[in-house]
């Protein structure tokens, strides 16, 4: 489904991604694991196309120069220079880190806003799916998103991405800042999502322990470079991963 070939991203003279290649197959859950500032968010911004908007904005204000090399293929089509809105139409949807919701709008309104590219019937169907996936949100439909807890906002942010009807769902550090209990809730929801809809998921995380058991395959990224790859079990059993992420 997704094929990333020799991707390199420069912010001025700083190299954020260095010759990074990966693939995501149909129906897989694939994880990209790395420490803080390893290049995970840059990868997601590049795959979703947000970096194109960032490049244009920086150019307009005379800011730092962003340069991208390499190729991104989605279902065999080169989308390296495709605008983010067109990538959403093709089915690539990003749920960004730090719960990007509309704080003054209610939970229900946030979900409806996220479906602006879809028909009313499609939005109703997806909103119902979101409430089934995250029952805790059902009782919070009328509450303003700004008054939700961090975990509730994360559930809403993922729900908003689902309403956009992704074929490939990109989750950028979905467990960041959440309690162990909420992390467990979200991991369970992602598993159920794959089982119920067969959706393809690519997620980035620095918390390897809860992520590795649920992924089909994983990539380890450090300083923008691919250092290890394998199945979730292979990475779980790797002594380097245990030492770096589990402290054993």
Q: What percent of the chain has pLDDT over 70?
A: 98
Query: Given this model, what pLDDT does residue 116 score?
Result: 84
Question: Residue 103 sits in which domain range?
Answer: 99-158
Taking the CA atoms of 178, 184, 188 and 191 in sequence, report the sign of the dihedral they define.
positive
Residue 154 lies in a domain: yes
Residue 235 lies in a domain: no
Q: What angle do CA 163, 190, 214 make, to 5 degrees?
A: 155
Q: What angle do CA 198, 202, 205 make, to 5 degrees?
A: 130
> Helix or strand or coil: residue 192?
helix
DSSP secondary structure, 233-247, as one string = HHHHH-HHHIIIII-
Per-residue pLDDT tens over the stretch 117-135: 788 898 999 999 999 989 9
Q: Are 29 and 174 in contact (CB under 8 A)?
A: no
Residue 134 lies in a domain: yes
Residue 149 lies in a domain: yes
Per-residue pLDDT tens over the stretch 17-56: 999 999 999 999 999 999 888 999 999 999 999 999 999 9
Residue 230 lies in a domain: no
The span from the CA of 240 to the CA of 47, in Å, is 28
Query: Given this model, what pLDDT does residue 88 score?
Result: 92
Distances (CA, A) of 52 to 55, 87, 138: 5, 12, 36
Instruction: Kindly give the parts of the chain with pLDDT less than 70.
Output: 98-99, 247-248
Phi first, then psi: give them for residue 191, nearest 5 degrees: -60, -45
Residue 26 lies in a domain: no
CA 16 from chain centre, in angstroms, equals: 18
Q: Which residues contact 205 (CB under 8 A, 6 or more apart)?
A: 31, 32, 33, 40, 173, 174, 175, 211
Question: Which pTM was predicted?
Answer: 0.92
Residue 168 lies in a domain: no
Residue 219 lies in a domain: no
Domain count, the chain: 1
The span from the CA of 40 to the CA of 220, in Å, is 10
Query: Given this model, what pLDDT does residue 247 score?
Result: 57
């Amino acid at each position: 489904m997704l094929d990333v070939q020799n991707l390199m991203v420069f912010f001025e003279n700083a190299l954020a991604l260095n010759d990074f290649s990966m693939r995501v197959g149909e129906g897989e859950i694939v994880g990209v694991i790395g420490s803080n500032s390893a290049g995970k968010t840059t990868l997601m911004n590049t795959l979703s196309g947000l970096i194109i908007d960032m490049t244009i904005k920086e150019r307009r204000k005379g800011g730092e120069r962003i340069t991208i090399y390499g190729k991104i293929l989605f279902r065999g089509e080169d989308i390296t220079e495709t605008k983010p809105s067109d990538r959403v139409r093709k089915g690539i949807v990003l749920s960004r880190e730090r719960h990007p919701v509309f704080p003054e709008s209610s939970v229900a309104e946030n979900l409806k806003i996220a479906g602006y590219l879809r028909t009313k019937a499609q939005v109703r169907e997806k909103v119902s799916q979101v409430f089934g996936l995250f029952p805790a949100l059902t009782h919070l439909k009328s509450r303003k998103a700004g008054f939700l807890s961090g975990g509730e906002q994360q559930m809403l942010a993922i729900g908003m991405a689902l309403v956009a009807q992704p074929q490939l769902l990109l989750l950028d550090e979905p467990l960041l800042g959440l309690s162990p209990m909420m992390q467990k809730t979200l991991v369970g929801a992602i598993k159920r999502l794959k089982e119920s809809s067969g959706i393809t998921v690519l997620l980035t995380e620095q918390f390897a322990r809860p992520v590795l058991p649920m992924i089909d395959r994983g990539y380890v990224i450090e300083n923008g470079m691919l250092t290890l790859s394998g199945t979730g079990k292979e990475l779980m059993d790797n002594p380097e991963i245990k030492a770096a992420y589990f402290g054993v």
